[in-house]
Amino acid sequence: MKVGYYPGCSLHSSAQEMGESFWDLMRPLGVEAIELEDWNCCGSSPAHSTHHGWALNLAMRNLLLAEEQSLKELLVMCPSCFVRLREAARQVQSDPEKGEQVSKALGRPYGGSVRLKFFLEMLRDVGTEQMRSLLKKPLKGIKGALYYGCLLSRPEWITGFDVGPYESFLENLFRTLGGEVAHWGYGRQCCGAHLGITKPGLVSSLVDRIREHARRAGANCIVVFCPLCQVNLEMRGRKEPALPVLYITELLGLAAELPRTTRWLGRHLVDPRPVLREARLL
């Protein structure tokens, strides 16, 4: 299986540990991935918040590149990038005027041959059995509050994810890894997104509430699926004591004993190693 890989900006910088851990997982899972050559930023919130044309064309340039590079599938790591790319492709395919706009800006039309795939969807396709075969060190002693954030828990007709809400799949996956799922009602709360920079006080109160509920549910870490959630949950919050915030891919890497694991774990603002040591995973 050969697929294109769209990391998105944060995986090259603040969320390196998410990118590296996923990249290292792909080989044992039998996925051959090639990074989309010369990819650009999808435009994210700032583009769709202020300029519809930029949002459309920035996203579509990546799909055109994938088409040029004969990639049939493009694996997208960040939920927000995924929704931006999927939304642009949907607009182009349903509205000829938008298609025209893209051809004009980018010099050729989009043929529509690239299938966008969110990374969790790939994990789902791989299947529980194969996941289990990678398991060397079950995550016993880890009680995770799964934090889906705003996008993964919204209905599929809004976001365009192919698997409806992801919650039950992710709970199963986490249990397969040997972890315990904490029951809480805060997994769908929004983390405040880019207001983490512009309105730190507001986002700190959101994060405090999330932490408080995770802790009350007995969790010793929060498990995330999005680079922006990760940064806000580690960086913000004032009153509540911090909880480690780990990417699902890091936990997968830990359970599979991938060699670079310790390097990712050292990069966190809230050090997860004491919790992991206590669970005898390090």
Partner 1 sequence: MAAEFLEEVSRRSGQRFEGCYHCLSCGGGCPVVEAMDYNPNQIIRMVQRGMREEVLGSKAIWVCVGCFSCLSQCPNRVHIPAMMDTLREMALEAGVRVAEPEILAFHRAFLGEVRRWGRVYELGLVLKYKLSTGKFFEDFSVGFKMMAKGRLQLLPSRIKGEEQIKRIMNGTRRLR
Residues that bind partner 1 (CB under 8 A): 9-10, 12-14, 16, 38-41, 43-54, 57-58, 61, 65, 105-107, 150-151, 154-155, 158-159, 188-190, 192-195, 197-200, 202, 206, 235, 266-269
Query: Which residue blocks in 27-184 are alpha helix, DSSP H?
Result: 44-50, 52-68, 79-94, 96-106, 119-126, 128-134, 149-152, 156-159, 167-176
Give Rg (Cα) of the chain: 19
Between 162 and 180, name the residue whose CB sits nearer to partner 1: 162
User: Can you tell me the distance from the alpha carbon of 149 to that of 168, in angstroms, rounded to the nearest whole number?
Assistant: 15
Q: Which is nearer to partner 1, 8 or 253 (CB)?
A: 8
Quote the least distance from Cβ 28 to partner 1, whole Å.
Answer: 25
35 or 125: CB nearest partner 1:
35
> Between residues 105 and 134, which has the closer beta carbon with respect to partner 1?
105
What's the closest the beta carbon of residue 170 comes to partner 1, in angstroms? Answer: 18
CB of 262 to partner 1, least distance (A): 14
**What is the side-by-side order of every strand in the sheet holding 245-247?**
180-181, 143-147, 221-224, 245-247
Smallest distance, Å, CB 56 to partner 1? 9
**Torsions phi, psi of 50, nearest 5?**
-130, -20
Residue 111 CB coordination number (10 Å): 9
Task: Kindly state the smallest distance separating residue 221's Cβ from partner 1, in Å.
Answer: 18
| Helix 96-106 with 52-68: angle, nearest 10 deg | 70
Orientation angle between helical segments 52-68 and 79-94, nearest 10 degrees: 90
Q: In the complex with partner 1, which residue's Cβ is closer, 175 or 263?
A: 263
Tokens 């790591």, residue located: 77
CB of 147 to partner 1, least distance (A): 13
Facing residues of 116 across strands? 74
The torsion angles phi and psi of 90, rounded to 5 degrees, stand at -65, -45
**What whole-number distance in Å separates Cα of residue 277 and Cα of residue 282?**
5
- Smallest distance, Å, CB 116 to partner 1? 18
Nearer to partner 1 (CB atom), residue 101 or residue 220 = 101
Q: Which is nearer to partner 1, 34 or 158 (CB)?
A: 158
